[in-house]
Amino acid sequence: MTRPQSPPLDGWTAIVLAAGRGTRMRSRLPKVLHPVAGRPMMLHVCDTVRAAGIERIVVVTADADGEVAEAVRAQVPGAAVAPQGEPLGTGHAALAARVAAGDASHLLILNADLPLITERTVRELTQRHLQEHAVLTFLTAYLEDPTGYGRVRRQNGRIHGIVEESDADAVTRGQPEVNAGLYAAEAEWLWPVLADLEPSPRGEVYLTDAIARAVDHPQGAEAYQVVESSEVQQVNTRVELARAEQIMRERIRRRVMLDGVTLVDPATTYIDAGVAIGPDTTLLPGVHLLGSTTVGGGCRIGPSAVVRDSTIGDGCQVGMSTLEGSELAERVTVGPYCHLRPGTRIEADVHLGNYVEVKASRVGARTRVGHFSYIGDADVGADVNIGAGTVTANYDGATKHHTTIGDRAFIGSDSVLIAPVELGADARTGAGTIVTRDVPASARVVGVPGRIREPGEGV
Amino acid sequence: MTRPQSPPLDGWTAIVLAAGRGTRMRSRLPKVLHPVAGRPMMLHVCDTVRAAGIERIVVVTADADGEVAEAVRAQVPGAAVAPQGEPLGTGHAALAARVAAGDASHLLILNADLPLITERTVRELTQRHLQEHAVLTFLTAYLEDPTGYGRVRRQNGRIHGIVEESDADAVTRGQPEVNAGLYAAEAEWLWPVLADLEPSPRGEVYLTDAIARAVDHPQGAEAYQVVESSEVQQVNTRVELARAEQIMRERIRRRVMLDGVTLVDPATTYIDAGVAIGPDTTLLPGVHLLGSTTVGGGCRIGPSAVVRDSTIGDGCQVGMSTLEGSELAERVTVGPYCHLRPGTRIEADVHLGNYVEVKASRVGARTRVGHFSYIGDADVGADVNIGAGTVTANYDGATKHHTTIGDRAFIGSDSVLIAPVELGADARTGAGTIVTRDVPASARVVGVPGRIREPGEGV
Amino acid sequence: MTRPQSPPLDGWTAIVLAAGRGTRMRSRLPKVLHPVAGRPMMLHVCDTVRAAGIERIVVVTADADGEVAEAVRAQVPGAAVAPQGEPLGTGHAALAARVAAGDASHLLILNADLPLITERTVRELTQRHLQEHAVLTFLTAYLEDPTGYGRVRRQNGRIHGIVEESDADAVTRGQPEVNAGLYAAEAEWLWPVLADLEPSPRGEVYLTDAIARAVDHPQGAEAYQVVESSEVQQVNTRVELARAEQIMRERIRRRVMLDGVTLVDPATTYIDAGVAIGPDTTLLPGVHLLGSTTVGGGCRIGPSAVVRDSTIGDGCQVGMSTLEGSELAERVTVGPYCHLRPGTRIEADVHLGNYVEVKASRVGARTRVGHFSYIGDADVGADVNIGAGTVTANYDGATKHHTTIGDRAFIGSDSVLIAPVELGADARTGAGTIVTRDVPASARVVGVPGRIREPGEGV
């Protein structure tokens, strides 16, 4: 996906805290690897940080070689991994990034379970930090239900500290401004502070305690209040995961609608972040556009179509069908109940009717496959007619073989083409023919097994 | 769709303003032709005006022969088209209707992008206008978020004028009563006023300026406040289009539920305005009942069934399937994964199992088509059994041909019936038979190509 | 479904009022038999009462042998039916239970149209009743929209009575605390009171009038206010039925998510009350898990899969498909567009591709059925390959017959196996073969009808 990139933030390093166990997810998968809109939440955070102009990222993980560390190495090019070892609090986690952060002058520290944070918010927070010359600037949010978050204490409007919920009195608990878990800090000031913080009775060091230190510093602490409080939705349970998923999907839906795509029922239209859709395309309810899919303009997709990692040209109509790794040219009609599997390439003006399966094949322009056919490992020419019940028998129990069908061929109903086999241009097969040998151009083949017939001979 | 018609409003002409470009839709299609619940929004407005008792309609369009003008001529019988030419504001647009409006004594002027306005509201507005003897009466609404609308100014409760948002001070902006864009007016008073209004600096004449003139008139201006503010939802973007769609769909859902239909999940049940459904029918999630569809009582439809322009009798069960232009008698069971195409007529107590495609065919009472069959251009009798994989090969590459199957015939699995062909009553085909010639009543045919066998002969 | 059972409430009898006609449902089916989340609402109420520790239930029905009475006898073991006869009000209905209630010391009386009442609320109400030594304790709720409910009148916080909406003045109507229709009472006190209540002008006796009597009693009346007001959602129309359905489904969704199941879009995931799902299973949008279904851990189901009364092992992947009465072992992949019918048993690591129908059959481990096949009344061994278009022709027009396929068999595309028939281990069929006789182990059969070929012979 291409996003507008902010200008680079020089001297900044982002520390992404991804070491938490996330036990409330009740999952074998580490929390930060659970996907939101098709992408692990940790990667959303890294994407956002990079889009906001911070290239250098250190991800603090539980272990040096666990699943999270592997995901960082595989999918966040250039990011460093800093294992925390023992889980001794957020302050301890941030400190684990010290060596990897190197000579950064400014640090952005944020939790990897905040997949909804936007580039704009990261940008605004860093700008506020730089403008105000604070030693630490953190993100706050006004929440209708602040339960579970640390509350912000202000005096005469100035930041006075953070009170953890467990320590808060009734008045403070009723206060809706919370600490959202996103910090910009001066590295030179922060590192020694983190090293010096007093552990809690449970032996943990909290990043929030650094705020108290910043308040006492002459340059002080600053806060930036997020405009859209849904951005700071934390994900600790699958209920919160579902909520984050919904918020992210709604952002995408709104964007594509304003770009000229009709969603008949946005709530049941599922579009992954990387999908591009042309104007005047209509998506009916229950449509899923997933992965790296591109849809042209003037298409009509759905209802209940699933399209993954595919390209659909202008003016296509795709009914209730499943497309994976397929490419459709212009004005192709598909479905209902088709299954296009990876390696499918459908040329312009092709009609695929109902119950058509295509795999690793090309289907030439204007060809019609009306019903109940399996086209696998085949090259089908243009203007071909494939009758109902046609099967390319591509597997002999050991190897997959290839079928070639020439332009304008007419394949009769219930034909089986036993690969490897080649039918020439204008060839015809009778209904129920088992084609075991190549068929010359313009020849007609009928029977079980198929035999070439002279013109005028019967079935 | 039949609605209760209000008594006629004599002397009234409705002017529907449909000339706006609607650029924020980012569409090639003019805004007012975008469908809401399956019907272009302009047509909803015309329907409502007619249902409220105003027969004479003038639609002001951008051009005399653009898409909107064509849609009016094709789909609003008796309505006049008045091209506006240059887009010089709503007052200029209304004035464009003057000739076509003829000798109307009262005018109803409304925007074509208000698809949710109800007959009742139109009726109430016109009644208020007549009762109060105002020269102009307009519709107002209280909106939670009035952004983008002109605000109503009142003094001591009396209408004092409209302030456009751009001209409004903070107090006026905070005022939630807005001008909804629906006007009743005395023709004799309005025409000269419109002709006399001062254009704005951009050269546009605004209908709202007529309100100020009416306020100064001895008979004054009146306002009628809409009861349900969702009725005045404007449609300027696809986001607003989706909202209008949802509101209209919810109205329909509520109506059918109160009439005795169970919607297991109303939010994912899509019913077009013209659809009729009998009591004690259950619609499961993901069902679409579209176009001019009728469903009987005691049916169970879905989940994820799509039914368009079809008639379904009492007591039918339709699973996840697609029906288009089809007719089902009583107690038919269909699906999952069937596709009934236009011209399908299924008689009582038929069972269509999974992966059954029927097109332009009759299927007689109690016949069973269990699996994987294509019945096209065929007449199938009663009490027939169609085996798995049966195909009516109706196309020879040039023409479509017809198949007839007599009552009580038994078609073996994987039979291909090469049309034109006729199988008599009680005929049987063996599995895998390619039927190339007519089969007499009670005969048995087997082989490739099929040959008639004597009783007792093998396959 | 197994719920944690509360300890028994000795001496209590529950009276479930299920005699109402429910005419606003516009249904032939009695209101209390309409299902919510797949189970008649009356049964939800009986389940809840039993789960709360009250074993003895009397259901007051309109007739002694109507549909409701039959449902009670069939589905609420041990419950008594008490016909009300003439519908003369809720007090009259409760009194109809007197004989059947026998020597109960405490009574719990509740309407059968309150399917959302929880075990916890029943428990809390009965505890409050016993602790406060009241003669009658009833459930109240604070409703945002109390329209249609009787309002609670209090003086200095003490219960002073109930005012029916029709008798309420404006102040009382604006009061949001309502009578929810759930009563705990001392039997010894209640029976004579009910017998003594004055009928209304319409001849009806109201249970609410007993509250006034209790207020005058030295032990007084008590109220318990429900924590979650959605529990007292009454169901009088299909609109309210849909709301109750939604609330119950959301409870189930929340529960399974907190237990470690990912719901990508909870709003379109439909899980019946009795379904169990293992951790780290993902349910995609449009999935229905119905009846007595069990899904293992680490599965991926959907989108738009329908699974009813089936068991799915760990690590399975089920695409858009329909499963009924089927059993899948571990790591089975299914779909899209499969239909597994009752009696299907799929062993571990089997792959069923697209358009595969299985009925009353076993499919052995690691077998692959890639496309377009009907496996009915069959026993298929392990490591078998079933080619595209294979049909077990199990029906001869009179009887269903059985097919057996040995381990490692290879069934060529478009084969028809005419049952009864048995193919030995390692048998092979050529494409398009009609198998009419048993095939020995390791033999190869080709043709129409199929003949055994020696090794090296052609098709």
The distance of A213 to chain C (nearest Cα, Å) reads 37
Residues of chain C with CATH 3.90.550.10: 12-238
CA distance linking residue A183 with residue C172, whole number of Å: 53
Distance of alpha carbon A207 from alpha carbon A205, whole angstroms: 7
A73, containing H or E segment: helix A67-75
Return the residue matching tokens 């015309």: B46
Residue B378 tokens, joined: 């065929």
Between chain A and chain B, how many beta carbons pairs sit less than 8 Å apart? 122
Q: Do C268 and A270 touch (CB under 8 A)?
A: no
C371 and A393 within 8 Å at the Cβ level: the answer is: no
Helical (H) or strand (E) element with A69: helix A67-75
What is the rounded distance in angstroms from the CA atom of residue A61 to the CA atom of residue A18?
A: 5
The C-alpha angle A77, A81, A86, rounded to 5 degrees, equals 160
Compute the distance between CA of residue A39 and CA of residue A76 in angstroms, rounded to an integer.
Answer: 13
pLDDT (0 to 100) of residue C197? 94
pLDDT band at B1 (very low <50, low <70, confident <90, very high): very low
Q: Which residues of A are catalytic?
A: 371
The pLDDT of residue B2 is above 50: no
Q: Please, what is the end-to-end C-alpha distance for chain C in angstroms?
A: 56
**Among A242, A391, A436, beta carbon nearest to C413:** A391
Asked if residues C78 and C57 have their Cβ atoms less than 8 Å apart, the reply is: yes
| pLDDT at residue C456, rounded to an integer | 59
- List the subunits that have 3+ CB pairs under 8 angstroms with A: B, C
Neighbour tally for B99: CB within 10 Å = 10
Does domain A12-238 fall under CATH 3.40.50.300? My reply is: no
Instruction: Dig out the tokens for C319 from the structure.
Output: 């695409």
Q: Are B62 and B82 in contact (CB under 8 A)?
A: no
Mutate to test the interface with A, among B238, B283, B308, B354 (most CBs of A within 10 A): B238
Rg (CA), chain A: 30
CA–CA gap between residue B78 and residue B62 (Å, rounded): 19
The Cα of A283 is separated from the nearest Cα of chain B by a number of Å equal to 11
Q: How far is C240 from chain A (nearest CA, A)?
A: 22
Q: How many CB atoms lie within 10 A of CB A102?
A: 12
| Percent helix, percent strand, percent coil in chain B, to nearest 5 | 25, 30, 45
Sign, Cα dihedral of B410, B415, B420, B421: negative
For B306, which of A267, A303, A412 is closest by C-beta distance? A303
3-state class (DSSP) for residue C148: coil
pLDDT band of residue B21 (cuts 50, 70, 90) is confident
State mean pLDDT over C186-201.
95
What is the model's pLDDT at position C2? Answer: 42
Number of Cβ within 10 Å of residue B364's Cβ equals 21
Residue in C374, C413, C418 to test binding to B, most B beta-carbons within 10 Å: C374
Q: What value does the mean pLDDT take over residues C83-107?
A: 95
What is the tens place of the pLDDT at every residue in C18-58? Answer: 998 899 999 999 999 999 999 999 999 999 999 999 999 99
Q: What is the sign, positive or negative, of the torsion defined by CA atoms of C259, C265, C266, C270? A: negative
Whether pLDDT at C74 is above 60:
yes
Measured CB to CB, residues of chain B less than 8 Å from chain A are: 25-29, 34, 237-239, 241-242, 245-246, 267-268, 270, 286, 288, 304, 306, 322, 337, 339, 355, 357, 372, 374, 389, 391, 393, 395, 397, 414, 416, 418, 432, 434, 436, 448-449
Q: Is the pLDDT of residue B362 over 80?
A: yes
Q: Which residues of B touch C436 (CB under 8 A)?
A: 458-459
Closest C-alpha among A251, A343, A261, A255 to residue A297: A261
pLDDT at residue number C178: 93
> What is B261-453's CATH number?
2.160.10.10
Which of the following is catalytic: C160, C217, C351, C371? C371
Closest residue to C354, CB basis, from A29, A357, A397: A357
* CA dihedral (A211, A215, A221, A224) positive or negative: positive
Q: Residue A160: what pLDDT?
A: 86
Q: What is the ipTM of this complex?
A: 0.94
| C115 φ/ψ sector (left φ>0, alpha ψ -120 to 50, else beta) | alpha
Contact B328, B313 (CB under 8 A): yes
The owner of tokens 């109402």 is C20
Are β-strands C416-418 and C434-435 bridged in parallel, bridged antiparallel, or unpaired?
Answer: parallel
The 10s digit of each residue's pLDDT in A193-227 is 999 999 988 899 999 999 999 999 999 899 999 99
DSSP one-letter string for B38-83: TEEHHHHHHHHHHHTT--EEEEEESSSSSHHHHHHHHHSTT-EEEE
C-alpha C425/C-alpha A312 separation (Å) is 45
Task: Check residue A166 and give its pLDDT.
Answer: 82
Task: Kindly name the residue from B160, B371, B401, B402 that is annotated as catalytic.
Answer: B371
Residue A1: the pLDDT is 41
pLDDT of residue B375: 98
Nearest to B259 among C26, C372, C414 (CB): C26
**Residue B5: per-residue pLDDT:** 62
Scanning every residue of chain B, which has its alpha carbon at the shortest distance from the alpha carbon of A447? B448
Q: Do B238 and A354 touch (CB under 8 A)?
A: no
For residue C458, name the pLDDT band (cuts at 50, 70, 90): low
Q: Which of C337, C413, C459 sits opposite A436 (nearest CB)?
A: C459
Report pLDDT digits (tens) over A266-285. 999 999 988 999 999 999 99
Cβ-Cβ contacts under 8 Å, A429 against chain C? none
The residues pairing with B224 across neighbouring beta strands, listed in sequence order, are B139
How does residue A456 score in pLDDT terms, banded at 50, 70 and 90? Answer: low
Token readout for C367 is 């077998």
Contact criterion met (CB < 8 Å) for A257 and B268: no
DSSP string, B71-103: HHHHHSTT-EEEE--S---HHHHHHTTHHHHTT
Which pair of structure tokens corresponds to residue B369? 């088509």
The pLDDT confidence band at residue C412, using thresholds 50, 70 and 90, is very high
Q: Is residue A405 pLDDT above 90, yes or no?
A: yes
pLDDT by residue (tens digit) across B218-247?
998 999 999 999 999 889 999 999 999 999
Cβ atoms within 10 A of the Cβ of B456, count? 6
What is the C-alpha to C-alpha distance for residues B179 and C452, in angstroms, rounded to an integer? 85
pLDDT of A122-165, one tens digit each?
999 999 999 999 999 999 999 988 888 889 988 888 888 888 88
Rounded to whole angstroms, the Cα distance separating C87 from C66 reads 14
* Cα B373 to Cα B387: distance, rounded to the nearest angstrom: 8
Q: Which residues are within 8 A (CB) of A277 and not within 5 positions of it... i.e. 6 or more apart?
A: A256, A259, A261, A271, A283, A289, A294, A295
Average pLDDT, chain B: 94
CA distance C85 to B172: 63
Chosen from A354, A383, A385 to mutate, greatest number of chain B CBs within 10 A = A354
Cβ burial of A230 (10 Å; 0-12, 13-18, 19+) is middle
* Cβ-contact B232, B141 below 8 angstroms: yes
Report the gap between the CA of B237 and the closest CA in chain A (Å).
Answer: 6
The token duo for B155 is 């003094």
